[in-house]
Amino acid sequence: MKLNDKVVLVTGGTSGIGLAAADLFRREGAKVIVVGTDPKRLKAAEAQLGTGCLAIAANLRCSADIDRVIAGVRERYGRIDVLFANAGLGRAAPLEAVTEVDLDEQFEVNFKGVFFTIQKAVPLMSKGGSVVFTTSFLNTKGTPGLSILSASKAAVRSLTRTLGAELAPRGIRINAVSPGPISTPFASKLGLSEQELKAFAEGVEGQVPLQRFGEADEVSRAALFLASDDSSYMTGAEIVVDGGLSQF
Ligand SMILES: NC(=O)c1ccc[n+]([C@@H]2O[C@H](COP(=O)([O-])OP(=O)(O)OC[C@H]3O[C@@H](n4cnc5c(N)ncnc54)[C@H](OP(=O)(O)O)[C@@H]3O)[C@@H](O)[C@H]2O)c1
């Protein structure tokens, strides 16, 4: 059991990578708290994760909601041992079609939400604590139509280093897991038509050296490594789980 009795907060823990990670963390002995916005997905996650799991509805664009999440965890457990700040979304649009609303939404969830989640979680963390961010292969690979999503993930990659340096003297480690294309509902929310989505998926598969989409579980295992003491001498780093896409 790699996370025995650890209190683990997983944002975006109601779907895809976050849900797979929450389930794996629970099987490794953690007490898991998941956060999302959609009531149906929250209920389903709570049912899947079983007793001992807490599902909290919160919109991470809103810092008062983050305060409420942290207060809920403080009240129930009094501490956080691991934060997996994983919630995120993307909208595809070429340069001329990007709107202020698109930009604000992606930066507010993917960057601002992550920033205030860690800011508010850290007072409940102590020496030995571990923070894991979810970045993306997009933070190093230029992909047409994904400028804002990619920039928001590059900002989180930067945060892994700056906040990693700030928190290292307190014994709190910060690392990131960087997924490649993974089979989750994420791509279906990019705002592409069915035809565009199909072309996108085929294009991606053709580019990935391992010639397939990854599974959420394959990312969750890397997140577990970073969350647990197995990675005790790692901070500021990023583990890339992308079938070789950004490497070759
Ligand atoms: N799938 C990929 O190909 C891929 C590749 C690279 C990086 N990533 C990153 O991996 C992370 C997880 O994505 P996924 O693939 O697992 O996608 P997903 O299945 O769509 O899951 C996204 C999660 O984030 C939550 N979320 C979104 N907006 C939120 C908000 N405003 N407040 C609170 N929660 C919010 C969602 O909850 P609700 O649905 O309840 O709102 C959901 O639980 C994201 O950061 C994404 O950028 C994914």
Q: What angle do CA 115, 118, 119 make, to 5 degrees?
A: 80
Kindly report, residue by residue over 165-223, the tens digit of the pLDDT. 999 999 999 999 999 999 999 999 999 999 999 998 999 889 999 999 999 999 999 99
Instruction: Note the pLDDT of residue 200.
Output: 87
Pocket test for ligand 1, best of 17, 19, 219 (most atoms within 8 A of CB): 17
Q: Which of 185, 102, 83, 187 is nearest to 151 (CA)?
A: 102
The CB density around residue 101, as the number of other CB atoms within 10 Å, is 9
Place of tokens 């053709």: 206
DSSP letter at 97 equals G
Domains (ranges, CATH) in the chain?
7-240 (3.40.50.720)
Instruction: Note the pLDDT of residue 1.
Output: 95
Strands (E) in the chain, as ranges, are 7-11, 31-36, 54-57, 82-85, 130-134, 173-179, 238-241
16: left (phi over 0), alpha (psi -120 to 50) or beta: left
| Ligand 1 center from residue 89 Cα (angstroms) | 5
Does the Cβ of 150 fall within 6 Å of ligand 1? no
| Averaged pLDDT, 61-65 | 98
Does the Cβ of 15 fall within 6 Å of ligand 1? yes
